[in-house]
Amino acid sequence: MTGNHKTPQAPSLETVHMSKSFGSLRALDDVSLRVASGSFHALLGENGAGKSTLVKCIMGFYQADAGQVLLDGCEALVHSPRDAHALGIGMVYQHFTLVPCLTAAENLVISRADAPMVIDWKKERQQLEAFMDAMPFRVRLDAQVSELSAGEKQKLEILKLLYLDQRFLILDEPTSVLTPAEADEVLGLLGDMAHRGEVTVLMISHKFREVKTFCDSFTVLRRGRFAGSGSAQAVSVSDLSQMMIGDAGLRPPATRTQAPPKGPALHLDKLSASDAEGRRVVSDVTLTVNAGEIVGIAGVSGNGQSALIELLSGQRKIDAGQITINGEDFQPTRRNFDRFKVFGLPEEPLRNAVVPRMTVAENIAFRSFDKPPAANRLGLLSPARIRQRGADLIARFNVHTSSPDAPIETLSGGNVQRAVLARELSGEVEVLIVANPCFGLDFASVSDIRRQIMEARNRGAAVLLVSEDLDEIFELADRIAVMSEGRITYLAPAAETDAIEVGKHVAGQHG
Amino acid sequence: MSLSTSFPRSRFRPDARTAAIIESIVIPLGALIASALIFSLFLLVLGKDPIRFFGLVWTGGIGSAFSFQNTLQRAAPLILTGLAFAVPARIGMTLLGAEGALVLGGFSSAVIAIPMVLGGWPVWIGLPVMALAAMAVGGAWVGIAGWLRHYRGVNETISSLLLTYIAVAIMNFLVEGVFRDPGSTNKASTMPLGADWRVGDIPGTSVHWGLAAGLVLAVLLWVLMERTTFGFAARIAGGNLRAAQAQGLPVGKLAVASCVIAGACAGLAGFFEVAAVHGQANASLAAKYGFTGILVAFLARQNPMAVVPVAILFGALAASGGLVQRRMDMPDATMLVLQGIIFVTLLVSETLYGRLPFLQATQSGDRT
């Protein structure tokens, strides 16, 4: 298993005129991609451009309707991910696939196709140590995976592929779960390995900075078609974005209008809450969000921001303290959401905001299904009206879906979030609660969504924004707070602070 | 055939709604056919003739007016217990409490009848009171499981199953104790209801009114789940609890209400068992209708309307059991084997949703 790691061969890979349709939707249209041996290649494109479909065809999750995969110039028949692994093609997914309760060593050994019935741990340990010694980075073999940081887990995922002797690595947005420092380290090491000819890397990315810093070459897809390729070092960022977005261009970033109209203010008064084990996750949070203002809460995830959002949306019980809107007590019930016009864009919409199996139109109706015109006074629904309103909002908010009747789980991440926006921002909004609204989305969706949030503010909404993305906070917020270990540790007007100052407080108690 | 002519040189590509409907018919039907084939193998191993078996099921269950009425008679409680599983399933709860609600509901209606019979109450008041008592007790009993689940985090599947055992034990305890009719020497029972205190048959048939009640409830509950705000909210809560909470929906009340509705359906089945079949409450009430109802609801994909034909199918299997037993010299448990095979095949077929090759068109490719 671990014998040949000293003299690895990095393969080259090509897709030739690859096409794949799902019903009437042409997800891939005649796409040719060439990744040279030992290169670090970036695959760029907006959400829905076909990047995932392309790599899933390479990995054998999907069978392409037309076209071939060439590995080292020879046609490779990949009918299943198992075939891909046998050919030495491995993939690191956006989300971790390690078993959290096992150690790193156990995860590596059980990942083998030929793991023996009875494992000789002593022998395996020796082999693993030898394997680790040959690697440019290592992970503590005895550490339980649940104790590893996101960066270490990502490294272990990559090590797992190398351990399985997979030399063509496909990485699906590998840095979305990493801090910038971790991302730089992992990508740098991978780049070094590629340049030594040990691996070939194909990375799906949204981040131009990473592509420019670490990659050799790139391919851009747009709406399922090839839109350009070349040297990552030679290309300019503006050319790249031009290729990704096409001639339509980006909508300009939202402009902040001054002196917005007066409206109700959201006030949190000494809010506290605990998790299931009774640990304090939110402690004495006091914060006011005025009408026509965005207050951004920055912080490393896991410092109580999610819990704070859950308190406001009724997903978690308030232990102590009070929420008031314009001086009136606010309990997070449906009646109060309507009465105070409170809306929300929760993080991970598939987990918090939609029912994956219900249709797009039904999901868009979550706020309105129990009021006229969707329902009459007896509580009888009109499915036709729900569908009609869904179709209208799908068009207005530019949600890409094959039909209003498609289950929302079949949509891409950006389009799920647009459907949620359509639901929450189509009416009059006075209080808006937003959490990591652009996580994992391509930058056309990102600018679209940020613009909508800014417009809600300009119309006079009080907006509370929780985000792990400092750029997002600085783009949107009027005032910036930092949350650390359940408390607000810093609060300043955006105009009077900067990223370094905020970053210091974010990192302050975590250094 | 017609498909290939009306869609020349292109594959039949239904839209998402049509595809979902086709799926929900094709897959359970395919599972039924598959289980019939597997069961045929089982018969062949035993040296029995499968064709003769299914012929007898036809004769004994559907073939004649007599046998079909027998089938409908047996389908009536299955419709109600099938609904008792289907409604909470839409809100994501797997309740096994219908048997207990049926037993306690039937028992309560038999007991509440005693003072009314002795007091000389008119029957047209007495029977509705009995039915309401059965529904109230059944609803409250299963409602306990819903309450425990939402407010105490107790797994509703386990609590409702345990509640069923408790219900049967309570009924046995009381029937053999304080409510035992001194006349019931062979089998401890409550006081028998006179012929005038019985629910009669639907005119022109030998099927009791429980069938009509089941049909009406199936339609009403379909409307409730598909065409009312309550049903929509229940589907949100069943599909994603966190999303339902974030919408401020009263998830606890929805869960408990669904359980109460379920228990009331099963309790009503118990009422008809007492007032239309046995004329008294005794251990015969625990005839596993509550558990067969789970099977019915599964095959019906928790759709209240689909519960009706599926219940009739299972009624036919039950009705023909005696005939199969006599003519083919096979044990009573044969029908249970068939039911078991159907259940397992159904569970396996659940994995096929969204994967039928000829419906692949419904999968949007708009993923990244």
pLDDT tens by residue, A452-471: 899 888 888 899 999 877 77
Name the A residues in 41-70 with CB < 8 Å from any B CB: 45-53
Name the DSSP letter for residue A33: E
pLDDT in tens, B59-78: 888 888 888 888 998 999 99
pLDDT in tens, A317-349: 899 999 999 888 998 888 999 888 899 888 888
Distance between CA atoms of residues A493 and B173, nearest Å: 72
Contacts of A4 (CB under 8 A, 6+ apart): A165
Is the model's pLDDT at B368 over the cut of 50? no
CA nearest to A6, candidates A197, A173, A156, A134? A134
Distance between CA atoms of residues B44 and B94, nearest Å: 35
Is the model's pLDDT at A258 over the cut of 90? no
Least confident range from A20-29, A239-248, B43-52: namely: A239-248
Q: Do domains A3-248 and A250-341+428-511 have the same CATH topology?
A: yes
Class of domain A3-248: alpha beta
ipTM at complex level: 0.78
Instruction: Please provide the DSSP assignment of A211-222 as one string.
Output: HHHH-SEEEEEE
Domain spans in chain A, listed from the N-terminal domain onward: 3-248, 250-341+428-511, 356-426
pLDDT in tens, A362-389: 999 998 888 888 888 888 888 889 999 9
In the prediction, which pLDDT does A440 show?
67
Query: What is the arithmetic mean of pLDDT over A13-32?
Result: 85
In the prediction, which pLDDT does B14 show?
64
Biggest CA-to-CA distance, chain B: 78
Taking an 8 Å cut-off on Cβ atoms, the answer to whether A375 and B229 are in contact is: yes
Element (H, E) at A191: helix A180-195
What is the torsional sign of CA B165, B167, B172, B177? positive
Distance between CA atoms of residues A501 and A480, nearest Å: 11
Distance between CA atoms of residues A1 and A112, nearest Å: 9
Peptide bond preceding A356 in cis form (omega within 30 of 0):
no
Contacts of B2 (CB under 8 A, 6+ apart): none
Distance between CA atoms of residues A240 and A206, nearest Å: 11
Which range marks the domain in which residue B190 is found? 77-306
In the prediction, which pLDDT does B150 show?
85
Does residue B85 fall inside a structural domain?
A: yes
CA nearest to A76, candidates A59, A55, A54? A59
Which has the higher per-residue pLDDT, A138 or B137?
A: B137
Which residues sit opposite A69 in a β-bridge?
Answer: A15, A76
The token pair that represents A267 in the structure block: 């006030």
In the prediction, which pLDDT does A23 show?
67
Least confident range from A23-27, A202-206, A492-496, B155-159: namely: A23-27
Cα distance from A276 to chain B (closest Cα, Å)? 12
Does residue B288 fall inside a structural domain?
A: yes
- Is the CB of B250 inside 8 Å of chain A's CB atoms? yes
In the prediction, which pLDDT does A251 show?
53
Least confident range from A24-28, A253-257, A325-329, A364-368: namely: A253-257
Across B121-146, b (16+ Cβ under 10 Å) vs e yields eebeebbeebbbbbbbbbbbbbbbbb
In the prediction, which pLDDT does A449 show?
86
Residues of B in contact with A401 (CB under 8 A): 364, 366
Instruction: Quote the crossing angle between the two packed helices B50-58 and B16-45, to the nearest 10°.
Output: 120
Distance between CA atoms of residues B103 and A20, nearest Å: 57
Cα distance from A120 to chain B (closest Cα, Å)? 37
pLDDT interval class at A47 (50, 70, 90): low
Residue A269 phi/psi, 5-degree rounding, is -120, 105
pLDDT in tens, B195-233: 888 888 888 878 889 899 999 999 999 999 989 999 999
Is the model's pLDDT at A497 over the cut of 70? yes
pLDDT in tens, B10-27: 445 566 677 778 888 888
Taking an 8 Å cut-off on Cβ atoms, the answer to whether A24 and B230 are in contact is: no
Instruction: Please provide the DSSP assignment of B104-170 as one string.
Output: HHHHHHHHHHHHHHHTT--HHHHHHHHHHHHHHHHHHHHHHHHHHHHHH---HHHHHHHHHHHHHHH
In the prediction, which pLDDT does B317 show?
87
Is the model's pLDDT at A308 over the cut of 50? yes
Does residue B184 fall inside a structural domain?
A: yes
Architecture in CATH of A250-341+428-511: 3-Layer(aba) Sandwich (3.40)
In the prediction, which pLDDT does B359 show?
65
Query: What is the arithmetic mean of pLDDT over A37-57?
Result: 86
- Residues A370/B232, Cβ–Cβ less than 8 Å: yes
- Is the CB of B276 inside 8 Å of chain A's CB atoms? no
- Is the CB of B248 inside 8 Å of chain A's CB atoms? yes
Q: Considering just the CA atoms, what is the radius of gyration of chain B in Å? A: 22
Distance between CA atoms of residues A344 and A387, nearest Å: 22
Does residue B96 fall inside a structural domain?
A: yes
Q: Report the share of chain A in percent with pLDDT over 90.
A: 21
Distance between CA atoms of residues B35 and B7, nearest Å: 33
Does residue B258 fall inside a structural domain?
A: yes
Name the A residues in 374-413 with CB < 8 Å from any B CB: 375, 379-381, 383, 400-403, 405-407, 410-413
Q: What angle do CA A69, A71, A77 make, to 5 degrees?
A: 50
Closest residue in B to A19 (Cα–Cα): B365
Least confident range from A38-42, A51-55, B170-174, B359-363: namely: B359-363
Which has the higher per-residue pLDDT, B171 or B65?
A: B171
Q: What angle do CA B106, B111, B112 make, to 5 degrees?
A: 100
pLDDT in tens, B275-299: 988 888 888 888 888 899 998 998 8
pLDDT in tens, A63-88: 888 998 999 988 888 888 888 988 99
The token pair that represents A73 in the structure block: 């110039």
pLDDT in tens, B321-353: 888 888 888 887 888 888 889 889 988 888 887
Closest residue in B to A223 (Cα–Cα): B366
| Tally of domains in chain B | 1
Is the model's pLDDT at B1 over the cut of 50? no
- Mean pLDDT score across all residues of chain A: 84
Element (H, E) at B214: helix B210-227
- Residues A194/A200, Cβ–Cβ less than 8 Å: yes
Is the model's pLDDT at B6 over the cut of 70? no
